[in-house]
Amino acid sequence: MKRKRSHIIAVVLILGILFRFINLDGKLYWYDETLTSLRISGHTQTELVESAFNGRVISVQELQQKYQYPNSEKGLTDALNAFAGNAEHSPLYYLMARFWVQTFGNSVVTIRSLSAFISLLAFPCIYWLCLELFASSLTGWVAVILIAVSPFHVLYAQQARQYSLWTVAILLSSAALLQASNTRTQAQPGYESGDALHPVHTRTQAQPGYESGDALHPVHWVIYALTVAIGLYSHLFFALVAIGHGIYVAAIEGFRLSKKLIAYLLASLTGLLIFSPWLLIIASNLSQIIQNTATTNSTVRHLPLRWLLNLSRLFFDLNHGLSFINPILYLTAILSIWGLYFVCRNTPKPTWLFIITLIGVTGLALILPDLILGGRRSSVTRYAIPCFLGIQLAVAYLLTFKISKSQYSKRWSKVLVALIASGVISCVASSFFPVWWHNSHTNSKYNPQVARIVNQAESPILVTDEIPGRVLAFSHLLKPDVNLQLVVEPNIPKIADNFGNTFLYRPSERLRLGIEQEQNFKIEPVYKDWLWKLRKKV
């Protein structure tokens, strides 16, 4: 039985690893990823617009070499200045990405592989967290399985963004906190050592002979302080996770200023001090940050339905959209709620309270402003990573308990198999589609077809006044020798006439009418309203 279980775990882990690296160059390099590349190149968006979006003819190769990859023109200082220009994004991932690309070469596969490799660290981190939280190695393996083939985690493991790093930081910091605070729980009631849960090191909340707050290990708190700094340098929303940690420790200590709470405060302050250089940059760029994040203030419809959709993508994702009649949304919600309820009913306070604070602080911080002030923060799937991790921990515990001790263990084994199968099917499906929901489907869905037309044309030039980030994303689908003529609305360029085929890509109405009326061109649609062809009027 144990050998069969080990084989299943090994197979699922191998699949999870493969899914993270398969077809890295076959998926659309979308808007947000191009901004990652722009920053690590050392250029700012202002420099990009001034130098490339001025109507001059520039090849795709020149555009990408200069504005998508590190080069001799811009050094590390320039890159750090570019990071500071978007201070709402913590710099650790971008710094790592720059050195990674400089070491292993300029390509989409290279930069995405960094996120994929980082995502593998989530496996040992969530396993360690389960040991600290549940004193159960089997729960740890179930959690590893769930995260290995989770379509949500696989999608973001393949993006040139910081979300894999943030995921690892959350798990690592959480495990370090539990180790430092000495609250590893006993094996759950009803289990003896050697049972299916395989409890390890069954410390109680306060070991015999110690009062609460004793047995503090300074080295463990130093480790936690470092993980706080790493978390903050990974993503600013890690601050919400750290606040949740603080509420957890304070509640466990009865909101008394105990030695343990003091140790937590000192460790958190140390982590914050390490992060203070970036805090100063945030303070000096606050107005720019507010402008950069203004899009999250726009209101969207059906927020609760979007929450259900986002939650379902943890376990099953075939790129389905919003639908009130999609049963998957409700099944995954029931499983998640059941898992949380079961944890709260069947584990000691240090266990269930940790999961609730991990989910609750970030969840409330996203949901309440949307409900009170309006906005769409809570609809952005990646912002809810701490909540998703907490839910996966709860579901892992539910499945482990039911499979190990319930009279319905065979039924619950089938539930676990179904979750694994749904994850595998989802990952296989997304592996071979260039555009998925997470890379701005609305603004990217026709790019592969449009690029194919342009690439097949003889001596093409592409004219556009589209948003710079979208142009950069589209350029990654074009051949290096395709030429571009880029402007910013409302400017209208003088169309170059020495090319075989002249196309307009997603032009504004002003650009289209201006060229047609002022430069004696006839404009014909080629592919929907995304691609148009210019012909000289006779």
211 has a pLDDT exceeding 50:
no
- Mean pLDDT over all residues of the chain? 91
Model confidence pLDDT, tens digit, residues 297-332: 777 788 999 999 999 999 999 998 888 999 999 999
Q: Which long-range contacts (CB under 8 A, 24 or more apart) does 307-312 make?
A: 307/378, 307/379, 308/332, 308/333, 310/379, 310/381, 310/384, 311/336, 311/388, 311/391
What is the pLDDT confidence band of residue 518, given thresholds at 50, 70 and 90? Answer: confident
Model confidence pLDDT, tens digit, residues 331-380: 999 999 999 999 999 999 999 999 999 999 999 999 999 999 888 899 99
Where is the domain boundary, 432, 454, 475?
432
Percentage of residues of the chain with pLDDT beyond 70: 93
> Per-residue pLDDT averaged across 169-180, rounded?
98
Higher pLDDT, 409 or 153: 153
173 has a pLDDT exceeding 60:
yes
Residue-range definition of the domain harbouring residue 341: 1-25+107-186+216-432
Percentage of residues of the chain with pLDDT beyond 90: 80
282 and 359 fall within a common domain? yes
Using alpha carbons, list the distances in angstroms from residue 443 to 38, 239, 440, 482: 19, 31, 6, 21
457 and 428 fall within a common domain? no
396 has a pLDDT exceeding 60:
yes
207 has a pLDDT exceeding 50:
no
Where is the domain boundary, 432, 453, 479?
432
204 has a pLDDT exceeding 60:
no
373 and 472 fall within a common domain? no
pLDDT at 110 (0 to 100): 97
pLDDT at 407 (0 to 100): 79
188 has a pLDDT exceeding 50:
no
Phi–psi pair at 524, nearest 5 degrees? -120, 135
306 and 386 fall within a common domain? yes
pLDDT at 121 (0 to 100): 98
Model confidence pLDDT, tens digit, residues 5-25: 889 999 999 999 999 999 999
260 and 171 fall within a common domain? yes
| Contact residues for 350 (Cβ-Cβ < 8 A; gap 6+) | 183, 185, 205, 252
233 and 266 fall within a common domain? yes
Are 33 and 477 in contact by the 8 Å Cβ rule? The answer is no
User: How far is Cα 522 from Cα 182, in angstroms, rounded to an integer?
Assistant: 74
381 has a pLDDT exceeding 80:
yes
Higher pLDDT, 516 or 196: 516
Please tell me whether residue 532 adopts helix, strand or coil conformation. Answer: strand
91 within some domain: no
196 has a pLDDT exceeding 50:
no
20 and 38 fall within a common domain? no
pLDDT at 214 (0 to 100): 46
What is the pLDDT confidence band of residue 212, given thresholds at 50, 70 and 90? Answer: very low
Using alpha carbons, list the distances in angstroms from residue 408 to 195, 404, 413: 17, 9, 9
User: How far is Cα 289 from Cα 316, in angstroms, rounded to an integer?
Assistant: 34
356 within some domain: yes
Closest of 52, 163, 66 to residue 468, by C-alpha: 52
- In the sheet with 531-536, reading across from the earlier edge strand, the strands are 57-59, 483-486, 460-464, 501-505, 531-536, 521-527
205 has a pLDDT exceeding 60:
no
351 and 283 fall within a common domain? yes
User: How far is Cα 197 from Cα 494, in angstroms, rounded to an integer?
Assistant: 72
143 and 122 fall within a common domain? yes
411 within some domain: yes
pLDDT at 288 (0 to 100): 86
420 within some domain: yes
By mean pLDDT, which of 182-196, 296-310, 410-424 is the weakest?
182-196
193 within some domain: no
Q: Where do we find the tokens 């993503």?
A: 235
pLDDT at 201 (0 to 100): 35
238 has a pLDDT exceeding 70:
yes
Model confidence pLDDT, tens digit, residues 111-145: 999 999 999 999 999 999 999 999 999 999 999 99
80 within some domain: no
Where is the domain boundary, 406, 432, 458?
432
Model confidence pLDDT, tens digit, residues 239-287: 999 999 999 999 999 999 999 999 999 999 999 999 999 999 999 999 8
Domain count, the chain: 2
131 and 272 fall within a common domain? yes
Work out the number of other CB atoms within 10 angstroms of the CB of residue 238: 26
Model confidence pLDDT, tens digit, residues 425-477: 999 999 989 999 988 878 889 999 999 999 999 999 999 999 999 999 999 99
pLDDT at 1 (0 to 100): 64
Are 244 and 357 in contact by the 8 Å Cβ rule? The answer is yes
What is the DSSP pairing of strand 521-527 with strand 531-536?
A: antiparallel
Say what the pTM is: 0.93
pLDDT at 67 (0 to 100): 97
> Per-residue pLDDT averaged across 28-53, rounded?
96
pLDDT at 217 (0 to 100): 83
> Per-residue pLDDT averaged across 136-163, rounded?
97
88 within some domain: no
What is the pLDDT confidence band of residue 197, given thresholds at 50, 70 and 90? Answer: very low
Are 390 and 355 in contact by the 8 Å Cβ rule? The answer is yes
The two tokens of residue 323 are 């639908």
439 within some domain: no
270 and 221 fall within a common domain? yes
66 and 138 fall within a common domain? no
